[in-house]
Structure 1
Amino acid sequence: MASRTALASARRRFAALTSLFLLIFLVQATQPAPAAAATITANDLLAGLTVQAEVSVGYDRSLFPHWIDADGDSCDSREEILISESTSAPVLGTACKVISGNWNSWYDGASWTNPSDVDIDHVVALKEAWDSGASAWTTAKRTRYANDLDYAWSLDAVTDNVNASKSDRDPAEWLPPLTTVRCDYAIHWTAVKYRWSLSINTAEKTALTNLFAGTCGERSISVPPAGS
């Protein structure tokens, strides 16, 4: 009797497990596959930007509070970029101060180990953003723009004097000295403007259109998430 009871109990457990596995299989089979990330070509990204004259009145760098410690980890935005873009483990001092590391400046192909030789470039400069629509933003939104760690193409560690030569100029006025990266630079510039709904002027549009001629403009990228 005991053996028959044990056998019946085992059969019930087996049936229950079989039903559970079948249920899991059916649930997984009916779930839709994860949606692929939306993509867009560089040409279409450019076509999505508003073309209008810049308004160059009232800009001051202090209107864009920058290099803040947004997440409270003692590392401000500059240090966060230096840490994330160093190709080796950076050496940190007190209060998250980066002492050394290895940085490759993609604008000019130079490499650096001393952070004093490296600037953190706003791909679309703060003044350019102001002239292209950010003057209408709240200070909070300008702060998020100036410290945009959420989008990889917003901020770059580059050679300091190359960044100084760029200043606040757009692609109609300045391009990276390393000619092989100019297509990438134009795409990054356009993507940042698209992300933050910033306008472009006619000279900028012409320069970007020329840079996108041929295969550059046909390149497909993930649609930039909207900044807010």
Structure 2
Amino acid sequence: MKGSTQQTIRRAWAQLLGVAELGTGPAEAAESGADSAVPTSGTFPRLVREVAEAETVSFVRVFGQGILSGPRWALDRASTVPDDQLALLPVLMSLAADHGARPLGSAELSYTDDRVEHADLPISQDGAAVAALEAACSDEDVEEVGLSSMPHRWILLDAPDGEPLAGSGYLVWADALAHMGVLTSSKARGRGYGVLAAAAGTNAALDAGLVPQWRARWDNEASKRLAQVLGYEFVGTQTTVFIA
């Protein structure tokens, strides 16, 4: 991955989380006034962002830089907890157990700046094709991916009858990242169509000048394998819990 791509990812997450530019030291972080630095055993000192009325406690780690955001009590409790531990959902849940902690989830973050070579198959961006694909998938998968809510979508069609096989799309984060989503018809799984659809979406994001972002739940091995096949590189993690 090119250095410029890494810097784009760092800046995007700094904007999303409201902290100083990632990868900075304690002195630079303190100058921003929006966050502070906590020494950890990680590559960089941890950045923290106090959100007084926060509904979540979130820990993101990108290129070895940890960023914790939440109310002051959560930041204080985590001050002696290593980054490797904070990235674990059970640890974050335990930290906020007496504040009604509920899991939002833990995921791996991966990125690419290389185009994916793939076979050309019929593709549609029509809303009807999106609806037909979602109708052929489980409610759980449809809700997790949220393809119909993405403004940029590509649906792979079966050549003989135009039946949707798989689709991909993305949301733009911080004007720089293309947050990818991939959905495969239940009966088309295991035949490589998800890879083809994801490749089409990945290339389209790169053509738009964005950095494709793949976020896979920590327990979703199929999604993580798909990212690897497409050439995405593991960069960090995102772990979040709801609080009362």
Larger fraction in strand? 2
Range into which the TM-score falls when normalised by the shorter chain? under 0.3
